Chains A and B, each alone.
Chain A
Amino acid sequence: MGTTIQTLEHNLDIAEIRRQFPVLNQQVNDKPLVYLDNAATTQKPLAVIDALKNYYQKDNANIHRGIHTLAERATADFEKTRDAVKTFIGAEYREEIIFTKGTTEGINLVAQTWGRANLKEGDEILLSAMEHHSNMVPWQMIAHEKKALIKIIPINDAGELLMDEYEQLLNSRTKLVAVVHASNALGTINPIKQIVQLAHRHGAVVLIDGAQSTSHLDIAVSDWSADFFVFSGHKVYGPTGVGVLYGKRALLEAMPPYQGGGEMIGEVRYDGFTWNELPYKFEAGTPNIADVIALKAALDFIDVLGKQNIRSYENSLLQYAYSKLEHLEGLRFIGTAKEKVSIQSFVFNDIHHQDLGIILDKEGIAIRTGHHCTQPLMGRLAITGTSRASFAVYNTIEEIDRLEAGLKKAIKLFR
């Protein structure tokens, strides 16, 4: 299994990287913390923590409107992040970068603005069988309102999209395809470029959920010709409460605003308003200034290490985890796609995932257990949930040994 994932060379100093994450250096239940819940949220490097602290200690001011020095500094830093994001995800224009609360808000924004303006009765929305609830429920809501239909692109038992079936599902009624780049429950990497190409042949718009891919994989929205791309700051070593919606300029221009308020307006009269230009049209109210500024520090952190280095190293961790866990009696891997990010789900036939999670926590090991907000996917795989270990660039071989030892201890306790 996973034989095509190669263990590549990397030139990262992991000990030095770990020193940048103070949270990792602590005891949990009298054992050194092993944090393997990175798909839920990554820890934050000092650079991000310092950026937050620095902003509140030196620059705090409301942006875009103030004429004073602090307001100008804060505005400049805020807008620097927009430029950094543009480069990081390979967008063409800075106006295509909209700051949100996170992936979920980005998807809801598209559903409620583009969806409301463009969907009509009988239109079809294609989602994959492995979508997170946040890339499912917003579409169900607007589909219900507009009497549009949702169709599901099926997967095989390894957790890979059936691309032939996808092609069959596309037709002239398909208005939108919303697919995850990398699955949070399975780790599967979906062939985005191909998905976009096929959808565009039928005139459908494509939204890519990049929540799980942006910290691991090269993102090239323009090259893929993706129409919308969303991700969260807190899963890319950045702060919580900040995320990004990328949209093709022409699409964003044509979309009505999402929320009304300050910032998003051009002119307001008692009897109406005009809206502001991009990207401000979609950023009503005072934004999350500090977290947006600190997001740049997170992206810089990734850039300094290099995505290729990160990917190679994380792949080697994933391979090592396979080799260690596959010997455990009764363990079954869930999600065995050929192309994967460093996420591994597994189940035991006779041990409940919640029980496993409780015992591992006692051993100082943080993993995720449950349905991972993908209940329909769990149903498709005929399981109620999984245990999931997800690796980030600061994880080590020794930590995977600890996971193996913790699992062995749990097995002994439960059998």
Chain B
Amino acid sequence: MNISIDDIQKEIIEDFSIFDNWDDKYAYIIECGKKLKPLAPEYKTETNLVRGCQSQVWLHAEHKDGVVNFYADSDAIIVKGLISLLVRVLSGHTAEHIVKSDLYFIDKIGMQSHLSMTRSNGLASMLKTMKVKALLFLEQEKAN
């Protein structure tokens, strides 16, 4: 994959720029959530679970051919839509790029309120989980 994390963020910001009200914006996020491929049951494990006060999120990461791919699911659809954006931005990049990435698109598309959403279910903690998983892959790479 040649497109950079930065380019994907710009794409998403562009996608969202056509919405002038929150209804359409959320309808789009809900659509994204519905489109996200359901996580295979074998990956809905306790270790992949990001437990929250409100909803459950599963986040699975794979490291193959030098890049990391993320797979996610949630029982709540807006959260699922928001993670699908994170998955779209961060999947297919090297662990190093993921760890070093600066995700500014959340702010730009007006979803910053979800960064601090209730307890561990916020986008911030999902993003952190993704970076931690990438960091572990990075350490493995260095060890090998």
A-side interface residues toward B, CB under 8 Å? 29, 351-355, 357-359, 362, 369-371, 384-385, 413-414
Q: Which residues of A contact B8 (CB under 8 A)?
A: none
Partner pick for A355 among B22, B23, B53, B76, CB 8 A cutoff: B76
Point out the residues of chain A lying under 8 angstroms from B121, CB to CB: 354
Q: Does B39 contact A (CB under 8 A)?
A: no
Q: In the bound complex, do residue B30 and residue A352 qualify as a contact, i.e. CB atoms below 8 Å apart?
A: no
Answer whether residue B27 sits at the interface, using C-beta atoms and an 8 A cutoff: yes
Bound: A370/B77 CA distance, A: 15
Q: Are B78 and A384 in contact (CB under 8 A)?
A: no
Q: Which of B23, B56, B75, B78 has the most CB of A within 10 A?
A: B78
Cα-based distance from A359 to B54 in the complex (angstroms): 14
Nearest B residue to A357, CB-CB: B54
**B56 CB contacts on chain A under 8 angstroms:** 384
Please name all residues of chain B whose beta carbon is closer than 8 Å to the beta carbon of A354 when the two chains form the complex: 54-55, 76, 78-79, 121
With beta carbons under 8 angstroms apart, the residue of B26, B55, B79 that contacts A413 is B26
Complex Cα distance, B26 from A312, in Å, reads 39
Is the Cβ of A369 less than 8 Å from the Cβ of B30? Answer: no
Query: Which A-B residue pairs are the 7 nearest by beta carbons?
Result: A352-B76, A354-B54, A354-B76, A354-B55, A355-B78, A370-B54, A355-B76
B79: chain A residues at CB < 8 Å are 354-355
- Residue pairs across A and B with Cβ atoms less than 8 A apart, 20 shown, are A351-B77, A352-B76, A352-B77, A353-B54, A353-B76, A354-B54, A354-B76, A354-B78, A354-B121, A355-B30, A357-B54, A358-B26, A358-B78, A370-B54, A371-B53, A384-B75, A385-B54, A413-B23, A414-B30, A414-B77
Q: A354-B76, A354-B79 provided; 6 other pairs, C-beta below 8 A? A: A355-B76, A355-B78, A362-B26, A369-B54, A370-B54, A385-B54
Q: Closest Cβ of chain B: how far from A227's Cβ, in Å?
A: 33
State A385–B56 Cα separation when bound (angstroms).
12
Residue of B22, B30, B53, B75 touching A370 (CB-CB under 8 A): B53
Contacts of A355 in B (CB 8 A): 30, 76-79
Contacts of A369 in B (CB 8 A): 54
Contact indicator A413/B30 (Cβ below 8 Å): yes
Partner of A359, one of B26, B53, B75: B26
* B118 contact set on A, CB distance < 8 A: 370
Q: Would you call A352 and B55 a contact (CB within 8 A)?
A: yes
Chain A neighbourhood of B77, CB < 8 A: 351-352, 355, 414
Question: Which residues of B1-39 are within 8 A (CB) of A?
Answer: 22-23, 26-27, 30
Complex CA–CA separation, A385 to B77 (angstroms): 15
Cα–Cα distance between A355 and B78 once the two chains are bound (Å) = 6
CB distance from B71 to the nearest CB of A (A): 20
A56 to chain B, nearest CB (A): 30
A352 and B23 form a contact (CB under 8 A): no
Give A29 Cβ to nearest chain B Cβ, in Å.
8
Which residues of the other chain, B, contact A359 by a CB distance below 8 angstroms? 26
A352 with B53: in contact, given A362-B26, A413-B30, A414-B30 (CB under 8 Å)? no
CB distance from A365 to the nearest CB of B (A): 14
* Nearest CB of chain B from residue A232's CB, rounded to whole Å: 20
Distance between Cα atoms of A413 and B53 in the complex (Å): 23
Chain A residues with CB under 8 A of B54: 353-354, 357, 369-370, 385
Report Cα–Cα, A370/B55, bound state, in Å: 8
Residue of B nearest to A361 (CB): B113
Interface centre among A29, A352, A354, A362 (most CB of B within 10 A): A354
Are B78 and A362 neighbours in the complex by a CB distance under 8 Å? Answer: no
Please give the distance in Å from A363's CB to the nearest CB on chain B. Answer: 10
B127: min CB distance to chain A, Å: 18
Report the minimum CB–CB distance from B81 to chain A (whole Å): 10
Nearest residue, chain A, Cβ from B74: A352
Give the docked Cα–Cα distance between A385 and B75 (Å).
12
Q: Report the bound CA distance from A353 to B52 in whole Å.
A: 13
**Which residues of chain B come closer than 8 Å to A358, judged between CB atoms?**
26, 78
What chain B residues lie within 8 Å of A370 (beta carbons)? Answer: 53-54, 118
In the bound complex, what is the Cα–Cα distance between A362 and B114 (angstroms)? 12
Identify which of residues 86-144 in chain B touch chain A, using a CB-to-CB cut-off of 8 Å: 118, 121
* Chain B residues with CB under 8 A of A353: 54, 76
CB contacts (< 8 Å) of B22 on chain A: these are 29, 362
